[in-house]
Amino acid sequence: MVALLGAFLVVADRSANPLMLHDTDTAVLLQTIRARHDPLSWFVGDWPLQNHFYRPISTLAFELDNRLYGSAASGYGLTNALLCALSVLLLFWFVRELTDLPVLSAGSAALFALWTAGSTSLAISCVSLLGLACLAGGLWRHQLRIGWYLPGYFVFAFAASELHGIRPLEARMLDWLPGRTASVMCVFALIAMAAYARYERTSAKRLVAAPGPLDPPATRNTVRAREPSKFSFLWAVGALLACAAALGSYEQAVMLPACVLGVAIVQRLRGYKVRWGWQLGFWSLLAAYLVLRSRLIPVMPSHYQLQQFRHGPGVYLSLTEFLLPAFGSYPAFIQTFDEGFLLLLNPQLWSIVHASVANAVAYYQLRRHWVLALAGWALSVVSFLPMAWLKEFEHYFYWPMAMRSLFVCVLIWVGLDLLIIAWSRPGLQAPARPSAAPGSLPHP
């Protein structure tokens, strides 16, 4: 239900602005499609903008809209919104298959919907208040024992900063029609990852340790593992087909095989005996895609591509936003060191110190649910990695922020654990026993 509400929020925020069709890229794209009038031709050559990209699947979305809506901008805006809404629902499916935790799945989908619609202010305020509640409860219950409540405050402070989102998505994903190249790719990437995660979760053997003397015996309420269906391999086949469609939608999908490998590693850490042979299929698809692309698309970069490549501080700043968010402000701040002691009066200093401590404490506290936290963090980094060397457009962050939503939700989960600790009564030390209790076994 939460995921459906999130999808509805995205659709309700759709754009019907007629100016969408007058954007330069959109106008040229639609003009080329109408002039050629051959949808299948995009599978054997460059896409309509002729800047050396192979995107036949996402181009078909424009072909369909051209047939259905002609020059009605509202129809194109609705398609953009529906693709984003579908991504929200598919993210719920993916996290559900990866974690088997419905609450975490709903939270990730809801957060991604809020990022897409640009409506996170209320969530940020609530999480900030939870951080203050940690301080209030800790000061009441634990006084000067700050180790019982200060970590919770810093975790919520870091979560509040993450809730802002790495980049605003609404303008590029809902209001700019070419942004759907990223959402079409994201739809197929999420299908591939979810289908593969389901294949492993429902049919792989569990690595269960032999029962020990302290384990409770089986009862009539004990849940027995179900026998996998003989057709379970179809989930893996479906994942391969979705991977092929993602590669034909947008170039960022070259990271999909690495992300599927990440899903396999997470499932292995969660105790499933992963069938690693399927990974060969995803990497073979990537190799076939690269060969096909080299045959159909000119190998030399286009003028547009040469304009987009970058190196230097911008790459560092983009990567730190995913790896260690607090580190991104360090280079600019170092230039102010010539202020001497006046630096201590600079509020930017204390803001950076606060953010750095919150970042470090949060990463340390995530050890409580480290497998799921690592999954969201690593998948967001891997899915974004090649885009760091390009001049930024917000739709580059769409798929990575879908993955990041899992990381942020685990972060809030850890914060709630620490909030409970902050408001709990302090533990009481049992009194020392000077002699053994009557009837106890003798100790050497």
Contacts of 351 (CB under 8 A, 6+ apart): none
R_g of the chain computed on alpha carbons: 26
- Percent of the chain exceeding pLDDT 90 equals 55
Give 238-292 pLDDT, tens digit per residue. Answer: 999 999 999 999 999 999 999 999 999 999 999 899 999 999 999 999 999 999 9
Token couple for 98: 């990866």
CA angle 64, 397, 274 (to 5 degrees): 90
pLDDT of residue 81: 95
DSSP per-residue string spanning 1-48? -HHHHHHHHHHHT----GGGGGSHHHHHHHHHHHHH--GGGGGGS--T
Residue 412 pLDDT exceeds 70: yes
Look up residue 440 and give its DSSP letter.
P
pLDDT of residue 438: 65
Give the residue among 9, 24, 15 at the shortest CA–CA distance from 72.
Answer: 15
| Weakest-pLDDT range from 84-88, 119-123, 185-189 | 119-123
Please tell me the total number of residues recorded for the chain in this structure: 444
Mean pLDDT of 326-347: 65
Residue 18 pLDDT exceeds 70: yes
Give 299-311 pLDDT, tens digit per residue. Answer: 888 888 888 888 8
What distance, in Å, lies between the first and last C-alpha atoms of the chain? 61
Instruction: Please give the Cα distance from 70 to 61 (Å, whole number).
Output: 13
Higher pLDDT, 281 or 312: 281
Query: Helix (H, G, I), strand (E, B), or coil: what is residue 390?
Result: strand
pLDDT of residue 149: 76
Chain centroid to Cα 253, Å, comes to 14
Q: Tell me if 286 sits within 8 A of 344, measured CB to CB.
A: no
Model confidence at 224, pLDDT cuts 50, 70, 90, reads low
pLDDT of residue 206: 82
Mean pLDDT of 140-166: 84
pLDDT of residue 337: 59
Residue 211 pLDDT exceeds 70: no
Mean pLDDT of 316-341: 73
Mean pLDDT score of the chain: 87
Residue 221 pLDDT exceeds 60: no
* Crossing angle between the packed helical segments 73-99 and 102-117, to the nearest 10 degrees: 150
Q: Tell me if 249 sits within 8 A of 179, measured CB to CB.
A: no
Q: Tell me if 359 sits within 8 A of 326, measured CB to CB.
A: yes
Q: Tell me if 266 sits within 8 A of 215, measured CB to CB.
A: no
Residue bearing tokens 């970058």:
310
Give the residue among 374, 328, 322 at the shortest CA–CA distance from 351.
Answer: 328
Model confidence at 362, pLDDT cuts 50, 70, 90, reads very high
pLDDT of residue 444: 55
Residue 335 pLDDT exceeds 80: no
Mean pLDDT of 318-342: 72
Q: Tell me if 117 sits within 8 A of 9, measured CB to CB.
A: yes
